[in-house]
Chains A and B, each alone.
Chain A
């Protein structure tokens, strides 16, 4: 590459970079991304801390018929058990279903629990309430009801409460994710972070690569391209555009990753500032420098690959609308990677994962995840990177040829045969 080509590429790249970084949308997007991330962490914690009491009615069909003290005990224990999970239980032995439904409708009650006569046998306890979609709350309710009924069953069989408790004590089973390292990390947490990184990579690549396409189309529709190709080589124009837009993407990604790392590291103290106790839950393992480097390298190479393809698409079309259609094949390539994420997550060392993380169209999304899950050695990462570099170089050369011919063309979109003809020249 000659020096003057180098310089004009740099001048074009700087223009593309500054135009984007100076726009309001860049500021908004760069700040909103992390804010959205913060919201994901804080909003549930804040809301969870302020959950309002749930009031429910308890209707025991058995108590009415028998009037026996054991059944009254069951109802009282239910009220006590519900109070442990922050619910207010209120006995309503005589209420009809219709009246209870009316109370739910009028928001005087959140719901009601119906205990069948043979609850100690195989009768079904039914809860109906306006919080029925709240899966964690329903799980807690089921726990309470189960514990109370099991105690009553024990009592009926002459087994003491202490014995029942001992029998029912949960067995402690831990699952950890390891591929040979001594210290294991929580499997769930590792999966979540791998998934989040994959998704950020997908968003960043598709956002910025398609931005290159739009920018090419705009140059064509505004006719400024004629002025440009008289002053610079089409190669430098395309290269500068891809580099400039890529630099914006890299900057944004670094800001986002930096914010993510900081937020995760200081999560509990940040929550503490807001007066919320750390919710424990999953602890997210911090990312190492090596892992961040792998993520950024895959972003850059994946971006270059897709940006070149998108630039070629932009050069082929004459309007934004046409571009939306013409980009579908490129979109499909990247979406295949996204759709296959489960294959890598479920078995990071399996054949499917190996194929997908070596295929250059999906490796930018899936290899960082596989690497984070410990499914790939450094050697495997290097092989996958080499394949990606080769594919990227091929895409840049082919796209450069299509671009050179296409940017001066208006009107009918070329067919596949014509494209091949352009590439041969």
Chain B
């Protein structure tokens, strides 16, 4: 499989703060790839380096096989930054056309494609208005058009769902699906695991500037499922109490457990000890006088995988260090 993007030991410092610390990952062509992490993990900095907005202090970034970030690569990349701004006084059509020209299209071609894209996004009749006359949702669509007009091989979306209304979130999901269907590569960052889970083929999880793991979603899930997580519900509280005092308290069977007491979340989630199968736990439970209402092997969510890998404390937002601002870094 061809490689659309590869990072090798990339590091970026702002003063004494290390925003991105020795990150490496590879994005094959045609894949929808998510860079996941809490706020302040270094996702935007990583994406900015790929877009040549920032230069890495160490390591190497290669695009489309052999290109370094720069103008030549930029013509093949579409970018939707986290900080979304447009020239408010520009005519909508000309704004999109302008970005197309900067990405290497000829003036005439850019103009024609701008019109086509605006039509496709349902903004045809707004093409001749000024950007500032559009609603926020419509401006977001104009943003999409500026990222897509040159039909980039690699689409980079930084926190694309933040601030989107539900309609535009769907529009964006369609854009990603279309890109995937056309064999293009999509790289996006997000802290929203639910969104990532719906669209990603593969992810790279980072926290505090460091890579935690990168793999395809299928393999990540398989690896997580091997750790064995079971959802349990009992017919009555006495049964549950007996189970909790018995096999569920046995560290040879169960590594940890959570939930269960809360009536709105009746399921008790237990994690099996290493090498223990679900059957072993079920057999132990059935020796007791308990009535089980539910016994289910849980497919781990991306969120669960994320929490497992990063740890609950790493998964919470981390304040950005003041040093980053003063030394010319991103916000």
Contact = CB atoms under 8 A, between A and B. Distances in A.
Contact of B325 (A5, A8, A12, A411): A411
Which of A2, A219, A411, A418 is the most central at the interface, judged by chain B CB atoms within 10 Å of its CB? A411
Contact of A4 (B88, B89, B98, B104): B104
B74 A230 contact: yes
Interface stretch (A269-277, A366-374, A401-409): A401-409
A412 B326 contact: yes
Interface in A1-22: 2, 4-5, 8, 11-12, 15, 19
Contact of B71 (A11, A225, A233): A233
Contact of A409 (B79, B98, B325): B325
Contacts of B86: 222, 224, 227
A42 interface: no
Contacts of A8: 71, 102
Given A4-B71, A227-B99, A222 B325 contact: no
Highest count of chain B CB atoms <10 Å: which of A23, A225, A409: A409
B54 interface: yes
Nearest to A19: B89
A351 to B, nearest CB: 44
Given A4-B104, A222-B87, A227 B146 contact: yes
B326 A418 contact: yes
A226 interface: yes
Interface string A319-346: 0000000000000000000000000000
Given A4-B104, A8-B71, A418-B326, A230 B90 contact: no
A38 B248 CA distance: 96
A422 B102 contact: no
A223 interface: yes
A293 B224 CA distance: 76
Contact of A229 (B53, B103, B325): B53
B325 A412 contact: yes
B326 A222 contact: no
Given A5-B71, A223-B84, A223-B85, A409 B328 contact: yes
Contacts of A19: 87, 89-90
B268 to A, nearest CB: 47
Given A4-B71, A8-B102, A227-B99, A414 B326 contact: yes
B122 interface: no
A2 B146 CA distance: 24
Contact of B331 (A227, A232, A410): A410
A231 interface: yes
A2 B71 contact: yes
Contacts of B259: none
Nearest to B84: A223
Contacts of A5: 71
B330 interface: yes
Interface residues of B, number: 33
Contacts of B104: 4
A230 B85 contact: no
Interface residues of A, number: 32
A227 B79 contact: yes
Interface in B59-84: 71-72, 74, 77, 79, 81-84
Interface in B21-51: 51
Given A4-B104, A19-B90, A232-B102, A408 B85 contact: no
Contacts of B330: 408
A5 B104 CA distance: 11
Interface in A44-102: none
B325 A410 contact: yes
B201 interface: no
Interface in B81-131: 81-90, 98-99, 101-104
A296 to B, nearest CB: 29
B215 interface: no
B85 A226 contact: yes
Nearest to A408: B330
Residue with the greatest number of chain B CB neighbours at <10 A, chosen from A226, A229, A408, A422: A226
Nearest to B102: A231
Residue with the greatest number of chain B CB neighbours at <10 A, chosen from A11, A23, A219, A230: A230
A384 B114 CA distance: 48
Interface in B141-157: 146
Given A2-B71, A226-B81, A15 B98 contact: yes
A227 B87 CA distance: 10
Contact of B53 (A4, A219, A230, A422): A230
B52 interface: yes
Contacts of A418: 326-328
Interface in A386-425: 405-406, 408-412, 414, 418, 422
Contacts of B85: 219, 222-227
B153 to A, nearest CB: 15
Contacts of A411: 325-326, 331
B163 interface: no
B71 A230 contact: no
Given A11-B98, A231-B74, A231-B103, A222 B329 contact: no
Contacts of B326: 411-412, 414, 418
B87 A408 contact: no
A12 B81 CA distance: 19
A23 B327 CA distance: 37
Contacts of A2: 71
Contacts of A222: 85-88
A11 B102 contact: yes
Contacts of A15: 87, 90, 98
A4 B88 CA distance: 26
A422 B325 contact: no
A408 B54 contact: yes
A5 B74 CA distance: 12
B88 A230 contact: no
Interface string A208-244: 0000000000010011111111111100000000000
Given A222-B87, A223-B85, A408 B328 contact: yes
A128 B54 CA distance: 75
Nearest to B98: A15
Interface of A: 2, 4-5, 8, 11-12, 15, 19, 23, 219, 222-233, 405-406, 408-412, 414, 418, 422
15 contacts: A4-B72, A12-B102, A15-B90, A219-B85, A223-B85, A226-B53, A226-B85, A230-B81, A231-B99, A231-B103, A412-B325, A412-B326, A414-B326, A418-B327, A418-B328
Interface of B: 51-54, 71-72, 74, 77, 79, 81-90, 98-99, 101-104, 146, 325-331
